[in-house]
Amino acid sequence: MRIIIDLHTHSYYSDGALSPRVIVCRAINAGCNYLSLTDHDSVEGIEEAEKFAKTRNINFIKGVEISAKYNSQSIHIVGLGIDSNEKILLDGLQRNNQVRIERAKKISDGLRKVGIHGAYEKARVLSKTDYLTRTHFAQMLVKEEVCHNISSVFKRYMTGKKPGSVSVEWSSTIDVIKWIHQAGGIAVLAHPYRYKMSLTKLRKLVRDLKMEGLDGIEILNSFSKSKDIAIAKKIADENKLLYSCGSDFHGWPNQTIELGNIPKYDLGVNSVINFL
């Protein structure tokens, strides 16, 4: 029997649309054997998810996806098997969230300059919790019919030199990996193919992170093509890193990603699951 593992998902405690409880429920219905909730810079949904999963037939792993800075680029590091009450981790996440609030205000200021008013307040309305991410701004601009879809919002307003693009001082990768280890977790580089880096740069990133203590790489997610999987696996092997996988499910109605729906691939002995 195939084991279905989804170690990368988001609830409305970051930029997902659903509650932690609904995510666990939906993961069970999708046949997931292992599930982690990995909200951006937040562990607030974990207790609810864990409680709900406890009496049901699914292995729940406490997780988080932390934003970090590598040179001038944003990198995502997933922490798996963390103690979500660990003080150093919580302090770090709080710092990142302070940065997040300041950035949201700057995004809103940038959008105002091109005639989009009240973006901060309107994006806030879309967030069911206190968390405000770029996804909320994107969902808001689609709702307001400024753009047809999320990816066109990112292209037209929130990347490069566009009006809602703001550089962010996330904590360094070395600090983020430390927080995860301090909380007893495994540090995994999320979606390596998504950083728009040449293969040489990606290899250097992974080598540098390995020196900082990185434990694994997400070699599979919803959109991984066989070429992406092969590259990620090769870089993981070169650096003796574990393999992880996750859908990066967010649950918004206009998205096609589904929990547990990841390309079929046997993670084998290097699977992070064996070390959690």
CB of residue 150 vs ligand AMP: minimum separation in angstroms? 5
Q: Measured on CA atoms in the order 129, 131, 134, 140, is the torsion positive or negative?
A: positive
133 touching ligand AMP, by CB under 6 A: yes
Listed ranges 115-123, 159-167, 243-251, 261-269: which one lies at the site for Mn ion (CB under 5 A): 243-251
Q: Which does 171 bind (CB under 5 to 8 A by kind): ligand AMP, Mn ion, none?
A: none
State the residue number with the nearest CB to Mn ion.
76
Residue with smaller CB distance to ligand AMP, 62 or 134:
134
Q: Measured on CA atoms in the order 175, 180, 182, 183, is the torsion positive or negative?
A: positive
76 touching Mn ion, by CB under 5 A: yes
Q: Which does 178 bind (CB under 5 to 8 A by kind): Mn ion, ligand AMP, none?
A: none
40 touching ligand AMP, by CB under 6 A: yes
CB of residue 133 vs ligand AMP: minimum separation in angstroms? 3
CB of residue 81 vs Mn ion: minimum separation in angstroms? 17
Q: Which of 63, 103, 248, 270 binds Mn ion (CB under 5 A)?
A: 248
Residue with smaller CB distance to Mn ion, 28 or 37:
37
CB of residue 95 vs ligand AMP: minimum separation in angstroms? 14
Listed ranges 49-57, 58-66, 200-208, 229-237: which one lies at the site for Mn ion (CB under 5 A): 58-66
CB of 112 closer than 8 Å to CB of 104: no
Q: Which of 6, 15, 215, 228 binds ligand AMP (CB under 6 A)?
A: 15
Give the Cβ contact number of residue 18 at 10 Å. 21
Binding footprint of Mn ion on the chain (CB under 5 A): 15, 65, 76, 190, 248
Binding footprint of ligand AMP on the chain (CB under 6 A): 15, 40, 67, 133-135, 150-151, 154, 250
